[in-house]
Amino acid sequence: MTGSRSSDDPCIFCDALTSDEAAPLLVHRGTTCFVILNLYPYNSGHLLIVPMRHIPSLAAATPDELTELMQLTRRAEVALTEVYQPQGMNIGINLGRPAGAGIVDHVHIHVVPRWNGDTNFMSVVGDVRVLPEELGETAKRLRPVFERLTP
């Protein structure tokens, strides 16, 4: 159910729904949206809530997509709290490159668990990220919680 885009213009989110390589990152598939791990996370548990349809903004979303985006964002908050016990969370949408969007033409919501003092100096001085958990382990921990939280 991907949206309108030209086949020669690849989209990592659209491709994630059919790619064997992305399958291990997929945490939950809903009716109009899905939850996937960020391949380059800021912290362990960094999730992305993504409409299945290729749309650039919330303004282009249907009421059903908007509803499921928010429901899955709430579920992500609950699941991350249960699994990681973060002291806070960043939840946000970056629309447009000047706003920090890495993927400009397929809207998505970031859900990032945060802890006091978690600012990682390695990203700044070494242009590298250090995570205490591999992505496969993160997915393994979160999938059953999403399954349990899904009505």
Active centre residues (catalytic): 108
Q: Characterize 44-61 residue by residue with b for buried, 16 or more Cβ atoms within 10 angstroms of its Cβ, and e for exposed.
A: bbbbbbbbbbbbbeeeeb
C-alpha pair distances (Å), 15 with each of 28, 50, 85, 125: 15, 12, 31, 33
| Beta-bridge partner residues of 26 | 36
CB atoms within 10 A of CB 147: 11
Rounded Cα–Cα distance for residues 111 and 93 (Å):
9
C-alpha 125/C-alpha 121 separation (Å) is 6
The conformation of residue 126, written as its DSSP 8-state character, comes to S
Q: Positive or negative CA dihedral for 114, 40, 70, 84?
A: negative
